[in-house]
């Protein structure tokens, strides 16, 4: 994915991004999320985070952080990295998730 992002091939990067999520969900056994994935819609939506050229490598860096947590069998770190990645990807498209404040 790093090579595709550096080359500006965002369609190929979006396909690899989809494969990353698909394989992560398969490995996690999360059938509910996996069955909700629509390849066509996902691939079209995944082009949005690559709109800002100066931030395109962030996706790859975030994937690496998730994979490091998984490789080390530190599920808490991998989960936190995935949550950060989802929030950051949304922010790259102009969508901000609001995190409720605990009392």
User: Using one digit for the tens of pLDDT, what is the confidence trace for 43-82?
Assistant: 666 666 666 777 788 988 999 999 999 999 998 999 999 8
Please indicate whether residue 39 or residue 12 has the higher confidence score (pLDDT). Answer: 12
Rg for the chain (alpha carbons), in Å? 14
Model confidence, pTM: 0.74
Rounded average pLDDT over 10-18: 85
Nearest to 28 by CA among 62, 75, 86: 75
The number of C-alpha atoms within 13 Å of 23 and in the hemisphere containing its C-beta is 10
Q: Give the span between the Cα atoms of 80 and 5, in whole angstroms.
A: 24
| E strand residue ranges, 1-103 | none
Query: For the chain, what are the domain ranges?
Result: 2-92
For residue range 70-80, what is the model confidence (pLDDT) as tens digits? 999 998 999 99
């Amino acid at each position: 994915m790093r090579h595709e992002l550096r080359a500006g091939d965002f369609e190929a990067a979006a396909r690899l991004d989809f494969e990353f999520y698909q394989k992560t969900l398969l490995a996690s056994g999360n059938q509910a999320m996996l069955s909700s994935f629509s390849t066509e819609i996902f691939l079209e939506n995944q082009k949005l985070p690559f709109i800002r050229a100066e931030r395109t490598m962030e996706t790859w860096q975030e994937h690496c952080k998730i994979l490091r947590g998984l490789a080390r069998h530190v599920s808490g770190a991998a989960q936190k990295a995935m949550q950060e990645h989802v929030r950051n990807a949304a922010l790259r498209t102009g969508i901000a998730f609001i995190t409720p404040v605990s009392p």
